Amino acid sequence: MPTWSLRRRPGRTLGLLLLGILSLLVIRRYLYLEQGSCDHEVAQRLNWRNLISPWLRHRQSGLQAKGQNFMLEDSTFWIFGGSVHYFRVPKEYWRDRLLKMKACGLNTLTTYVPWNLHEPERGRFDFSGNLDLEAFVLTAAEIGLWVILRPGPYICSEIDLGGLPSWLLQDSGMRLRTTYKGFTEAVDLYFDHLMSRVVPLQYKHGGPIIAVQVENEYGSYNKDPAYMPYVKKALEDRGVVELLLTSDNKDGLSKGAVDGALATINLQLQHDLQLLTTFLFSVQGARPKMVMEYWTGWFDSWGGPHNILDSSEVLKTVSAIIDAGSSINLYMFHGGTNFGFINGAMHFYEYKSDVTSYDYDAVLTEAGDYTAKYVQLRDFFGSISGAPLPPPPDPLPKTAYESVTPAFYLSLWDALKYLETGHTMLRILVENRGRVNYGEIDDQRKGLIGNIYLNDYPLRKFRIYSLDMKKSFFQRFSSHEWNHVPEVPTFPAFFLGALSVALSPSDTFMKLEGWEKGVVFINGQNLGRYWNIGPQETLYLPGAWLDQGINQVIVFEEKMAGPVIQFTETPHLGRNQYIN
């Protein structure tokens, strides 16, 4: 496999060079400002010197694991990290969330990279808009955060199929997360595209990425001893030169490690802290310790409770981890939202799909608001930082808009034009509630995966429609196809209404009392699923996705429609279950 070279991306290299020159000019202007001038006060407030120093520092060795310490160049370095997933947060809010991270006393951003979103169809790549990974990493650098990148290819992350593209399963012999040729060929092509964007953003090339993770929790899967060395080599062959890490829970730690990468551990409760010494030492001896995922809460499943981890418990455990001489990453610092159909599922004893909200009971709420955890952790990290922390940004405003009454309606069957010459039609709606993201994943094909029988006779030659419900799907609906909502609608169906926003749009939460199960679209944006079995009772609607004036609201409901769509300033996440 050819080694990737910066020469393949001359435009990007030139861009980084120009950024460095611009930064030098900014510093030079800053130094020549008179102490009493207004411009000097502005420059002090913006703190340009701290903002751009990571880009200009003399760099040679990067982050290293020396003895029991991390070293960044010649200085001992503690990783105080927090996880934020760019694909779960509107791009317009990335800076807000990362400024809040910096103000909490953290110095490092960690993020997964979802293959299934970046290559939704084989060979078609998307790094635009909310998937602009480079812009996210550069925003972190501008704010003064280092970055640990977790590019997979498998990421778990409670996302559909653990971040692997479902089109891989079109191969009937596919063996995911192994060195099966059909899988590695797809990974190689994806990594060619991804690493051409990532490599110039590494520390040794002037960027903020100080470490890269090799796969994710492979020890819990462990189906091919050649797989982890393959992934490590695939990263290195494409120009990854920073410190490599692995990440596993206690059950997979010994089997998930790979030579040449530092093993880290994932845990939550205080009684697991012994793993920091016993498990990590048994795997790699006296090396720097890191909890790559300290779980600040947990995700929720449809039909279950809302999981809560008390803030005092979080503070005690974080303090104990650091007292044990370990670096730490808070998973999650900010969870965000499973917009669209990206949520994953679990299937051990029974199938359970994840809810739309990825609030996670994290340090920031789903909407980016402060919590008791944030306040307590900021006090703690502030006490050990050795310098005053920047002030936290103001919370974003929330609004409870007037209720919306759907005025128009369109049956799903009318939308699909299921009309034939005198035949009786059998119509089957199959919903993918989310592919399993952890555990056995090779059999996660969706749709009609076997014969359908009528009186023991197999029915074949179905006409199959894939309902991805993207913007282009709704754009094909002309105005004359919509009808006024009938007294007794035929389900499943689409319902159309209008949300009026008079002033500057603000965040809000949609509440669908009386509705049963479906999906909501605002101005073509898929907010995700709702389901009256809970625990999630509202859908987060970012103000950044609203327009001043009239906003289109489409609800796809499977079974029963309510009279109105309500809005509230606060989320409702159902009954709580405390983690202990």
**Catalytic sites, residue numbers:** 217, 293
Residue 525, CB half-sphere, CA atoms under 13 Å: how many?
Answer: 19
In sequence order, what are the residues at sequence separation of 6 or more whose Cβ sits closer than 8 angstroms to the Cβ of residue 62?
72, 73, 202, 203, 204, 210, 241, 242, 243
| 3-state secondary structure string across 214-277 | CCCCHHHCCCCCCHHHHHHHHHHHCCCCCEEEEEECCCCHHHHCCCCCEEEEEECCHHHCHHHH
CA dihedral 219, 137, 545, 306 (to 10 degrees): 30
Contact 127, 86 (CB under 8 A): no
Q: What is the rounded CA–CA span in Å between residue 381 and residue 432? A: 42
Residue 341's nearest CA partner among 250, 432, 257 is: 432
Two tokens at 274? 């012994």
Two tokens at 348? 């051990």
Question: Where in 268-319 does DSSP place strands (E)?
Answer: 289-295, 306-308
User: Could you tell me the sign of the dihedral formed by the alpha carbons of 477, 544, 156, 135, in that order?
Assistant: positive
Give 98-128 as a DSSP string.
HHHHHHTT--EEEEE--HHHH-SBTTB---S
Two tokens at 54? 């990571």
In sequence order, what are the residues at sequence separation of 6 or more whose Cβ sits closer than 8 angstroms to the Cβ of residue 428?
448, 452, 462
**Measured between alpha carbons, how far apart are the two ends of the chain, in Å?**
48
Residue 527's nearest CA partner among 503, 509, 505 is: 509
Contact 566, 510 (CB under 8 A): yes
Q: Which helix (H) or strand (E) holds 347?
A: strand 345-347
Residue 197's nearest CA partner among 363, 421, 440, 16 is: 16
User: Could you tell me the sign of the dihedral formed by the alpha carbons of 181, 182, 185, 186, in that order?
Assistant: negative
CA 267 from centroid of its chain's CA atoms: 19
| CA angle (10 as vertex; 5, 13 as ends), nearest 5 | 90
